[in-house]
Amino acid sequence: MQLRAFFRNPGQWLFNSPDQSLEQAYEAALAIKKLEDDYFDGQSICPENSEYGDSAYRYIQGEVERNIVVIRQRMEVFEASRSSLSPGRQMEVQSYDDQQDEYTLDLIDQSAIIFKKLRFIDEILERYNNLSSAPAAINTPGQLNAPQTNTKNGNGKSAKNRAGLAARSSVLPRSILRTVDRVKQDLDPKAEADVMRSFRKSQGKTKLALRFVLLLVIVPLLTQQLTKHFIVGPVVDYARETTEAEVFLNDEMEEEALHELQQFEERLRFEVILGKVAALSETQLEERVLDKALDIEEEYRERSADSVKNVFADIFAVLAFSILLSTCKRQVATLKAFIDEIVYGLSDSAKAFIIILFTDIFVGFHSPHGWEVLLEGMSRHLGFPANRDFIFLFIATFPVILDTVFKYWIFRYLNRISPSAVATYKNMNE
């Protein structure tokens, strides 16, 4: 029995490395967070925030308590095994490359990832630290490397044994540990069922994310069109008819109408000179110009009314979009996770290509022309005069600010998440 225990304990430590223990604790914390998002609108799981019956609430509370126990047990293993590692040990991140069919290590991001996971776990534990069924709280960060002195329940002796095993087993290359983990996963009889369940879950999330994207596009457009034609439109038409509103909303529209009338008159005189149109007396010419002026007036009257309708209809569309985002928090989280998965799944060259494409479009050398067309079209849509000074000032400041934000994001965020992508971006940009 002693010999079996001797071989069993190192084997348990081999399959429960510090990183794996932290990952298990992090997954349990994510499970609790998912319960909060799915059933309590992101709030803490407590009777005050519950809208369910006693049976349903007790079931959810049981799931929370079970995950809290897993978190604290896994964190105890993580702390005990981590304390045996040397302070200067370099952190490693394991990732799998499908194209090369091999595991790679990232020696840059592990400390930030561990800190992020620990901070998230601490937030979950802080919200549910008063659960009676959970074991004693884990050590505080300041006691992370302190020796265990409680010998009544054998915790100190167990921690020392695990620390000794960790020190002895750390001489093994991590590639061997990864190979053992892969073999263990391949021999697991539940592996196929887990893969199918994960695939169905991912498929459901993808469908949900795509449907929500369609809703984000279709709902504001439908709201804008319906309110414009059935709510705002009749009100604006009635108000403009009863108050005898001006034909032109601004001087720019009046100048456009005058220029169009002048072009018509000049074209008509030119066609008379060329003989394409029968000779017209001055009175006949004025009558033709007057008819055209009335047509232009009616055209710009409708255009002015349409611009006023667009203002109020766009406000309703923005409200519909905001309500959709505020009431569909679960779909928003699913869409964000879907986008993150797509972005992180791209290769380094694809990430660099997308970054260069967006930066060149919005803050590149030719971007001022695009911003100018966009702002003029927006002002024409809303019936405002295209103020050239404002447009030039916007082009001189906003793309510069946007370029600074891009560079700051690359330096602070992307450089930690994917340093190789940043290196590829720099090489492609040069």
Q: What are phi and psi of 275, to 5 degrees?
A: 85, 5
Of 251 and 19, more confident: 251
Sign of the CA dihedral running 220, 225, 231, 233:
positive
pLDDT, tens digit, 9 for 90 and up, residues 247-262: 888 888 889 999 999 9
Confidence of residue 411 (pLDDT cuts 50, 70, 90): confident
Selection from 147-151, 326-330, 342-346, 408-412 with the highest mean pLDDT? 326-330
Q: What are phi and psi of 96, to 5 degrees?
A: -110, 130
Q: Which of 295, 264, 263, 268 is nearest to 282 (CA)?
A: 268
CA distances from 199 to 31, 102, 205, 206 (A): 18, 22, 10, 10
Residue 219: partners with Cβ closer than 8 Å, 6 or more residues away? 320, 321, 324
**Residue ranges of domains in the chain:** 2-187, 191-341, 346-430
pLDDT at 94 over 70: no
Distance CA 393, CA 402 (A): 14
Give CB contacts under 8 A, 24+ apart, made by 345-348: 348/418, 348/420, 348/421, 348/423, 348/424
Confidence of residue 319 (pLDDT cuts 50, 70, 90): very high
Residue 147: partners with Cβ closer than 8 Å, 6 or more residues away? 156, 159, 160
pLDDT at 79 over 50: yes
As a whole-number percent, the residues of the chain with pLDDT over 90 amount to 19
Sign of the CA dihedral running 31, 34, 40, 44:
positive
pLDDT at 105 over 80: no
Tally the residues of the chain: 430
pLDDT, tens digit, 9 for 90 and up, residues 286-303: 899 999 999 999 999 999
Q: In this predicted structure, what is the pLDDT of residue 102?
A: 46
Q: Which residues pair with 104 in a beta bridge?
A: 95
Q: In this predicted structure, what is the pLDDT of residue 295?
A: 93
User: What is the rounded average pLDDT for all residues in the chain?
Assistant: 77
Confidence of residue 320 (pLDDT cuts 50, 70, 90): very high
Q: In this predicted structure, what is the pLDDT of residue 16?
A: 47
Q: In this predicted structure, what is the pLDDT of residue 57?
A: 78
First to last CA, the chain: 66
pLDDT at 374 over 80: yes
Q: What are phi and psi of 99, to 5 degrees?
A: -70, -45
CB 428 within 8 A of CB 124: no
pLDDT, tens digit, 9 for 90 and up, residues 161-202: 444 434 444 455 666 766 777 777 777 777 777 778 878 888
Other C-beta atoms closer than 10 Å to the C-beta of 315 total 13
Q: In this predicted structure, what is the pLDDT of residue 134?
A: 39
Q: In this predicted structure, what is the pLDDT of residue 263?
A: 93
pLDDT at 405 over 80: yes
Selection from 142-151, 155-164, 189-198, 237-246 with the highest mean pLDDT? 237-246
State the number of CA atoms in the 13 A half-sphere of 40 facing the CB.
Answer: 19
pLDDT, tens digit, 9 for 90 and up, residues 203-218: 888 898 999 999 999 9
Distance CA 401, CA 92 (A): 36
Q: Which of 22, 176, 178, 15 is nearest to 103 (CA)?
A: 178
Distance CA 25, CA 33 (A): 12
The first and second tokens of residue 49, run together, are 């925030």
Residue type, 370: G
Q: In this predicted structure, what is the pLDDT of residue 221?
A: 95
